[in-house]
Amino acid sequence: MPTRVLLARVIIELFTSRVRVTHELRAFCSPLSIGEETRLFLSFRSPIASPAMPPLVPKSGDAVFASVERVNAELFTLTYGAIVRQLLTDLEEVEEVNKQLDQMGYNIGVRLIDEFLAKSNVSRCVDFRETADVIAKVGFKMFLGVAATVTNWDAEGTTCSLVLEDNPLVDFVELPDTCQGLRYCNILSGVIRGALEMVSMKTEITWIRDMLNGDDAYELRVKLLKQVPEEYPYKDDD
């Protein structure tokens, strides 16, 4: 309680010294001596949507996919193929190309997450299971047009596999013998890592199965390392 009073006092000081307004103080901080010019009205609503705006319903993957503008799949596949080829020519080392693709994916992911949140209206996920489901059902569907499935949860619920049966990035692609070890779709792992980092989750993503190497599907192992909530530069010395 004393902290609240102190904090409320600070708010009033900050605000009234700069902006000349008159508001009404909600009396959950009792006795507070304020000048007659300063009445501050702070209304705290519970996280349920206010009556002024209808609650935003999270859209399903199919609905979002249908509502966004789409591009020709071949153009997408060919462009990605050109990027990988160019990287191989420039960097020559397969491991370097993998790293570069991951970095590119990361840069895409940090920007993509806002678009994903804006267009799909998903609310904050309760736990990592929900996060993985949302990525697989809504995220992949919205951006790649194919939904993934979530399998192989570990005991703590921090690691799972995302399985893709169909992958638009690899249409028409066959890896030659000189490119063994190339993770062709590594951009996807970067995208997921970047996107999750912007919502305060540090993850590690590895490829388990790759159809270009002869497996039957694409499998990504997503491991949650830690949650890093935003830190504010003040301490509550209660």
Partner 1 sequence: MYVWHFHCLFICCFNMLLVNLNWKDYGSAGRMDTNDSLRLASLWHSMHAISQQLSPTTGCNGIDLLRADTFDLHCFQSLTGTKFFVICEPSAPYMELLLKVIYELYTDYVLKNPFYEMEMPIRCELFDLNLSQVVQKDRVALLAR
Would you tell me which residues interact with partner 1 (CB under 8 A)? 3-4, 7-8, 10-11, 14-15, 18-19, 21-23, 28, 41-47, 50, 52-53, 56, 110-115, 117-119, 124, 198-200, 230-234, 236
Report the nearest approach of partner 1 to the CB of residue 20 (Å): 9
Closest CB 146 distance from partner 1, rounded Å = 22
Amino acid (1-letter code) at residue 77: T
- Letter string b/e over residues 181-206, b meaning 16 or more CB atoms within 10 A of that residue's CB: ebbbbbbbbbbbbbbbbeeebebebe
- Give 23 or 202: the residue with its C-beta nearer to partner 1: 23
Nearer to partner 1, 40 or 182 (CB): 40
DSSP 8-state symbol, 58? P
Phi-psi region of 232 (alpha: psi -120 to 50; beta: other; left: phi over 0): beta
Cα distances from 77 to residues 28, 65, 81, 170, 210, in angstroms, run: 59, 18, 6, 7, 17
SS3 195: helix
**Shortest Cβ distance from residue 168 to partner 1 (Å)?**
19
Distance of alpha carbon 193 from its chain centroid, rounded?
A: 8
Q: Quick one: 110 or 212, whose CB is closer to partner 1?
A: 110
The angle subtended at Cα 225 by Cα 219 and Cα 227, nearest 5°, is 120
* For partner 1, the closer CB: 136 or 163: 136
Shortest approach of partner 1 to residue 225 CB, angstroms? 18
Structure-token pair, residue 142: 């919205």
The CA distance from 169 to 73, in Å, is: 9
- Complex with partner 1: residue 93 or 114, whichever CB lies closer: 114
**Shortest approach of partner 1 to residue 114 CB, angstroms?**
5
CB of 34 to partner 1, least distance (A): 15
167/180 Cα distance (integer angstroms):
19
Complex with partner 1: residue 134 or 169, whichever CB lies closer: 134
